Amino acid sequence: MLHELLLALLGYTGDLIIDRRHNLSADTPISDQCTFKLAPDISFIDPSDRELIERIITLGFYYRELERFSAKSRNLNWIRSENVNPLENKENPSVYRRALANGIVEILSIYTSSILHIEQLLLAETMPLLATVTQGLNKFFTLLPPLYELILEIERGDIRGGQLLNLLHKKCHCGVPELQTCIQRLLWHGHQVMYNQLASWMVYGILEDRHGEFFISRGTLMKWCPITCIASMAN
């Protein structure tokens, strides 16, 4: 059961822990509710342990959805398509989402390292399985659910560009220090894109905006302003 649980925490389900959604693809939208659950025909697990396992495997669902979002946002296959206008590309890529995805990947790498550490502990000596897993992943019960809600909001609203930076800036104002640090790191990744665009425009007069996300554009007025984002860095 150890490895089935650890694999589920990395987004891989099987006969013991099942996924109610099947045949996922890159275009499958993010689910608005957890689809991981313990198989109903498992009878050797106590009701109290079953409830705890159901809670633990939600982390695997959040991880899987965050990873899918990151993979989709970092996909650069559209570059191979010749004679395609990026503004008309049906995949609608975004450099700001790609930057956000890079930050999410950093966080997920810490999560996977924690799972590896838990596996090493459990294999090295006899320890209570569920208690060890819960203790080792305790902080991720605080981090992954809000990150999942964040990408769900981004996908539903098709948020990108400066609107994405403003959303991250808003999410930074929370009462959980670990989560605040996490969101600030994501915002830092987004700021790197904006500052590079600003430097390119102000220093060289080059408008680097292949996807129509910058607040300066040719002949149109964009709907967002980076003042809020710049002010956040000053504070």
Looking at residue 81, its pLDDT comes to 52
Through-space distance between the first and last CA atoms of the chain, rounded to whole angstroms: 49
Looking at residue 77, its pLDDT comes to 63
| Distance from chain centroid for Cα 232 | 22
Residue 33: DSSP 8-state: S
CA distance 172 to 180: 5
pLDDT digits (tens, 9 = 90+) for 192-217: 988 888 888 788 777 777 777 777 77
Instruction: Report the pLDDT averaged over residues 35-39.
Output: 90
pLDDT digits (tens, 9 = 90+) for 128-168: 888 999 999 999 999 999 999 999 999 999 998 889 999 99
Is there a contact between 78 and 59 (Cβ–Cβ < 8 Å)?
no
Instruction: Report the pLDDT averaged over residues 34-60.
Output: 89
Report the length, in residues, of the chain. Answer: 235
Looking at residue 41, its pLDDT comes to 84
Q: Does position 232 have pLDDT exceeding 80, yes or no? A: no
Query: Could you tell me where the beta strands, DSSP code E, fall in the chain?
Result: 17-19, 36-38
Give 229's pLDDT tier (boundaries 50, 70, 90): very low
Q: Which residues of 193-202 are buried (b: 16+ CB within 10 A; e: fewer)?
A: bbeebbeebe
Domain ranges of the chain: 2-234
pLDDT digits (tens, 9 = 90+) for 51-82: 999 999 999 999 999 999 999 988 766 445 54
pTM: 0.83
Is there a contact between 182 and 61 (Cβ–Cβ < 8 Å)?
no
Is there a contact between 1 and 129 (Cβ–Cβ < 8 Å)?
yes
Is there a contact between 136 and 121 (Cβ–Cβ < 8 Å)?
yes
Instruction: Report the pLDDT averaged over residues 172-179.
Output: 92
pLDDT digits (tens, 9 = 90+) for 74-112: 876 644 554 555 445 455 788 989 999 999 999 999 999
